[in-house]
Structure 1
């Protein structure tokens, strides 16, 4: 029996994240989409060959023929509609960042526990073989002393645009830096303290650029940087007493990446084979729903990531909307 997915939001990310990966499988069907209006939903469904279109989110969540809801809505709506879908008996794949803050994230995971449904954050890069190779290299070089993770893009300001609007959960940290935070937490396997953070705000008040210094219980120090006003860069570097590893293209490795390492005096340049990150993510979800396999981006992990994001904003002095759910 196929896994039947419903998409909440006529989102630009959905074709890459769900639609194309689903069509490359014979056990997954994108069965419905919902948007803010019937006209928008109908147009999106026609464009992407989706059988059913709903003019409200409530209708899709209530559809008994949907097994999993992909929440591709603005960040400010993640908690409300993830919880609604869980309570309607659906599993949920929620786009990153998981919520507006850790308070919402906890309420989401509580709802998952209460309903017995799966709630997964869409850090798709975690499912690519590059993530496993990164963990192997981290173990090979021994205790890590320092990490730096960077995600920079150019995303020019437009009034009301999702990524630049505080009420919708915009900002460089929410959109890009969440990957960097997740990457260093995953690499070190610990939860950090934020010791310093600075931000440059854009015209609407969100962080256009932000950076933070994190300290981990092991003594490792991590720097994370994100910007919507810079030339593209996406990499992570980590060092120990015996080596150094630098990985370019960590979020979308199938589009090109490299691993440069110097460990115990031996230099290597390598890559890792794999499909699109979203294909690996969908494959892991399908398997997990069949056999109950725990996934790395569910449970405590999404909450812990939001705790760090909240702390970075607090230390940087960036005002943020209060919890809504």
Structure 2
């Protein structure tokens, strides 16, 4: 087998618009089937995307012996349940972020994965696999900016549609779960550590009862990370990484375009150097890396325990906002 045969669990937009077309360009991915709770919906998506098989239930897809791995882009509250069912069906699992509604729920998935150690399991934080983040991480590790001291992130978009699942509290909606997880993840990635404590101010939408604006400080001992995320602000994203001798700026840190180069800057006292990252699709890279881990029986790029650690930080931020003070992890 030189390609992994993938089944897609639902016709969610993130899958049909971004992830599936990207994985179809991969060297090691074959999108073999897609499932929906409605057969006609699945058939439409399959025809549109050139996928051979369509199923009218998730169970039918999991029962297909010709499927090796599952990509799970279901709503947040269904991530853990259906990822565990996929593992129980003998499938490798790439599950969208965030891993679940709580760290305890995420740990259930970790435990399920441990019961089937031959199966690969990973949270789909695609940004980490993009070359611009590989470059930023390398510069930090090589001391190009001196000692890492602080990371500043902004991530926002405007969405006040009550029918959008990101605005539905019962489905795990809200800004922290949808986009706040990114600055948390990247800060932990760069510091290669967990925050000691966090301070958060979180504002909820009075109608949707999901967070629409959050500003957060994370203390890592040797430095800090701050971020603001919002689902009801002007669309914007940017990351600045500051050290004692320089800084790194990433122009489009999360939704890196698949059809044009990305820019990343390294500024020191001597000069400001711009690096243009070649055109690539981070979803293609993610799919191929996960597939290679299956084919070559290697560890996945990001262990599933990382997903639970990220969720613990989100929970601490919420507690900090409720308690109006610092929360230790």
TM-score by length of 2: 0.91
Q: 1:229 aligns with which of 216, 229, 232?
A: 232
Structure 1's unaligned 5+ residue stretches are 319-325
> 2:173: which partner in 1?
170
Give the SS at the match of 2:134: helix
- Unaligned runs of at least 5 residues, structure 2: 324-329
Q: Which moved more, 1:286-295 or 1:104-113?
A: 286-295
Please give the alpha-carbon distance, in whole angstroms, between the structure 2 residues aligned to 1:273 and 1:295. 24
Give, in whole Å, the separation in 2 of the partners of 1:317 and 1:35.
38
**Alignment correspondent of 1:199:** 202
1:226 shift after superposition: 0.8
Retained in 2: the 8 A contact 1:209–1:226?
yes
CA deviation vs aligned residue, 1:149-186 (integer Å, no higher than 9, x gap): 1211122x222420000110100111111111111111
Query: How far is 1:28 from its partner?
Result: 2.4
Match of 2:248 in 1: 245
In the alignment, what sits opposite 2:156?
A: 152
Describe the superposition over 1:164-211 as per-residue Cα deviations: whole angstroms up to 9, x where unpaired: 001101001111111111111111101003431111211210001112
Q: Name the CA distance, whole Å, in 2 between partners of 1:128 and 1:34.
A: 28
Q: How big is each residue's C-alpha offset from its partner over 1:66-114, in whole Å with a ceiling of 9 and x where there is no partner?
A: 1001101000000000001011110001011111111111111111111
Alpha-carbon distance in 1 for matches of 2:216, 2:171:
22
**Contact kept in structure 1, 2:27 and 2:288, CA below 8 Å:** no
Q: TM-score, normalised by structure 1?
A: 0.92
Residue 30 (1) aligns with residue 35 (2): no
Contact in 2 for aligned 1:194/1:315 (Cα 8 Å): no
Count, aligned residues: 316
- Determine the structure 2 residue equivalent to 1:124: 126
In the aligned structure 2, how far is the partner of 1:158 from the partner of 1:191? 34
Question: In the TM superposition, what is the alpha-carbon distance from 1:256 to its structure 2 partner?
Answer: 5.0
- Residue 100 of structure 1 corresponds to which residue in structure 2? 101
The secondary structure found in structure 1 opposite 2:277 is coil
2:102 and 2:294 map into 1 onto residues whose CA distance is 27
Does the 8 Å CA contact 2:262/2:279 hold for their aligned counterparts?
no
Indicate the RMSD between aligned Cα atoms, in angstroms. 1.7
Corresponding residue number in structure 2 for 1:321: none
- Residue 327 of structure 2 corresponds to none
SS in structure 2 at match of 1:295: coil
